[in-house]
Amino acid sequence: MQQKTILSAAGLLIIAYYSWLLFGSGDWFFTHSKNAPNRMALMGIREEIKLGNDYEAVLKSYWRKKSKDLTLHAGSPQIWTVSMPHELGASNWVLYIEFNDERVSAVRVRTSDGPAPSGAPVDVGG
C-alpha cells in the first residue's frame, strides 16, 4: 500500500514537471500575455518597413526593433519572415516580408496557422 502511494506521488511529480516544462517554462510555448512584448516589437519592425525598401533597410529595421525572442528567417530572396515564440492555439504572429527585384513588395501579419489575427494592421502591397 505504501509503495503504491509513493509511486502515485512520484508519477504526479513527473507529470507536474513535464507539464511545467512544456507549458509554463516558456521553452516550448508562450502565453498570449507573455508574448505581448514580442508582438509590440514585431509591430515596430512592421511599421518601419516601407514598400521599396531593400534588404539592408529591412535588416536595419529588424536589428533596431527586435526583442530577444523574435527570429528572422531570411532563407529565400523572395520572402522573409519574422516570428515570435509559439503560443497555444497558434495565435502567435508572424511578419511576412515579400521582395520583388530585391525590394519590399508586400508586408503582411498572420498567425502561425495562416489567417490574419484580429488587431493586425492592414496588408501593404500585394
Q: Which domain holds residue 5?
A: 1-29
Q: What is the pLDDT of residues 77-113, one digit of tens each?
A: 999 999 998 887 778 999 999 999 999 999 999 998 8
Residue 95 shares a structural domain with residue 105: yes
d(CA 50, CA 88): 31
Give all strands of the β-sheet with 71-73 in edge-to-edge order: 71-73, 79-83, 93-100, 103-111, 124-125
Question: For the whole model, what pTM was predicted?
Answer: 0.77
14 and 68 co-located in one domain:
no
Q: How many domains does the chain have?
A: 2
> Could you tell me if 24 and 35 lie in one domain?
no
Residue 19 CB burial class (10 angstroms; 0-12, 13-18, ≥19): exposed
Q: Are both 82 and 121 inside the same structural domain?
A: yes
Check if the beta carbon of residue 38 is closer than 8 Å to that of residue 32: no
36 shares its domain with 86: yes
pLDDT in tens, 28-78: 567 778 889 999 999 999 999 999 999 999 999 999 999 999 999 999 999
From CA 113, how far away is CA 111, in angstroms rounded?
5
Do 53 and 80 reside in the same domain of the chain? yes
Contact (Cβ atoms closer than 8 angstroms) between residue 109 and residue 117: yes
